[in-house]
Amino acid sequence: MSSPLVLASGIIGTSAGLLERAARCGAGAVTSKSCSLEPRLGHPNPVAVEWGGGVINAVGLTNPGADEEVHLLREAKACLKLLGIPLIASIFASSVEQFGQVAAIISQAEPDLIEVNISCPNVGDEFGTPFAGSPESAAAVTEIVKSSTHIPVSVKLAPNVPSIARIASAVVKAGADAITAINTMPGMIIDAQAGKPVLSNHMGGISGYVLKPIALRCVAEIRQAVNVPIIGTGGITTGLDAAEMLMAGATAVGVGTAVWFRGPEAFALINTELIAFMEQEGYSDLESMRGIAIH
């Protein structure tokens, strides 16, 4: 990677042109928006709103379905190959079996990495518990995806679990090549004047700088539990934030909501700020920072 920054899934990753734009703005790798086996329309507006601590969204995983996504990924891959930037394809599903099907279809586009979003509800579960909610279900998804593709796999974990370290250990044991941590945190914003939730879906995922302390804790716990690459994601807005994430044990740093606040130029700005911090504090390379806060 030309920089440690990764465009997070769901942020301007809906077309080849936008993925290329993020790459040209300084992302060292880019992640497409999550796709499922069948197309999804998502939720009606409003689906995202800025609040005092960041952004809350309930887009509803809008996507064209895996078959159409292959075309988008192939186009993006061709553009990114010229720039030397890896492409990460994000997938999700409502059953373990579907995860395997989606992975097999998406593999036709030959992305450099498949990111497995397991934060969605398991429709086969009596209570609709997310796959990320238990080591057993997370491992089951990991195993079927690994058996359905030849491409390396990163499993994206959720923060709202009793022990993220246990789940990380389970997915690595099941074959995960890397871990992306974390997804958004479930939350709700209410319009007091209107007396109702702001989002049409009522609840959504909280992202932005308010999420950073949670993400740092999760990444630190994961790093102490496993020894695979970690894409540390959540609340990264500045170069100093990126340095903190690396110090927590991240291998690379996911950037998402910062694009909302700073535009696609956020990648170049964060890279510049990170370099300035390293020069100021005497760090010669990224490796000299990684994990120092948890040793």
Token pair for 28: 């060292």
- Burial of 45: CB neighbours in 10 Å, binned 0-12, 13-18, 19+: exposed
Cis peptide before 85 (omega within 30 of 0): no
By the 8 A CB rule, do 60 and 201 touch?
Answer: yes
Q: For this structure, is 79 an active site residue?
A: no
Catalytic option among 25, 35, 120, 218: 120
Closest Cα partner for 106 from 76, 155, 68? Answer: 68
Q: Which helix (H) or strand (E) holds 271?
A: helix 266-281
- Work out the number of other CB atoms within 10 angstroms of the CB of residue 64: 17
The answer to whether the Cα torsion of 144, 145, 148, 150 is positive or negative is negative
CA atoms within 13 A on the CB side of 251: 16
CA distance 83 to 127: 45
Number of H helices and E strands in the chain, helices first, is 9, 14
Rounded Cα gap, residues 10 and 18, in angstroms: 11
Q: Which region holds residue 51: left if phi is over 0, alpha if psi is between -120 and 50, else beta?
A: beta
First to last CA, the chain: 25
Active site residues: 120
